[in-house]
Homo-oligomer: A and B are copies of this chain.
């Protein structure tokens, strides 16, 4: 199990259905599901990225409920899952936070439903991640990460291939599958 993996769920800048760049809404279920998935695979930190103050407050309240509110007593495994979840204003803030913690900037990894010439496969990525350096997996909500984030990333993972090129996985499911491929114990 790797502890050098960090994960960001980005709500801005992402595309909407029509190709416009928007701020997508935080889905509280994403926060819960992805926190539990990250805890399962030993991810060091899960960052919910949104510039909207009201949405940041929503995530903070959710985390507070399960960490110190009634939720902590009602469901301690949920508390455990949320211990490493936090909200950040921007992807830049996430990178700075990791740099402060680890003493170096993380290498960034993105995925996209489209194929890119520089796509890296899962086995190769897993091997690369055997190094001590921190890695940041970046996932977009809505209709995907804004183009510049993809272009500036250190690595672009191959898409998850479905039957007949179908690729409309929920982001929650894509994260589970990708972490399992990159950090899972398979036996």
Question: A residues bordering B, Cβ < 8 Å?
Answer: 1, 29, 32-33, 36-37, 39-42, 77-78, 80-81, 121-123, 158, 160-163, 166-170, 172-174, 176-177, 180-181, 184-187
Nearest Cβ distance between residue A14 and chain B, in whole angstroms? 17
Q: Give the residue name and chain of the B residue nearest to A3 (CB).
A: B163
Q: Give the residue name and chain of the B residue nearest to A17 (CB).
A: B75
A134 to B72, CA, bound (A): 43
Say yes or no: A162-B29 contact (C-beta < 8 A), given A36-B168, A172-B172: no
Nearest Cβ distance between residue A7 and chain B, in whole angstroms? 14
- The answer to whether B186 and A42 touch across the interface, beta carbons within 8 angstroms, is no
- Interface residues of chain A: helix, strand, loop or mixed (majority): helix
- The answer to whether A158 and B184 touch across the interface, beta carbons within 8 angstroms, is no
Residue contacts A-B, CB under 8 angstroms, 8 given: A37-B170, A39-B162, A40-B166, A81-B168, A122-B187, A172-B176, A173-B176, A177-B184
- The oligomer's copy count stands at 2
Residues of B within 8 A of A172 (CB): 33, 170, 172-173, 176
Partner of A163, one of B42, B77, B161, B181: B42
A167 to B123, CA, bound (A): 24
Nearest Cβ distance between residue A150 and chain B, in whole angstroms? 20
Nearest Cβ distance between residue A125 and chain B, in whole angstroms? 12
- The answer to whether A37 and B169 touch across the interface, beta carbons within 8 angstroms, is yes
- The answer to whether B41 and A163 touch across the interface, beta carbons within 8 angstroms, is yes
Nearest Cβ distance between residue A60 and chain B, in whole angstroms? 22
A176 to B166, CA, bound (A): 15
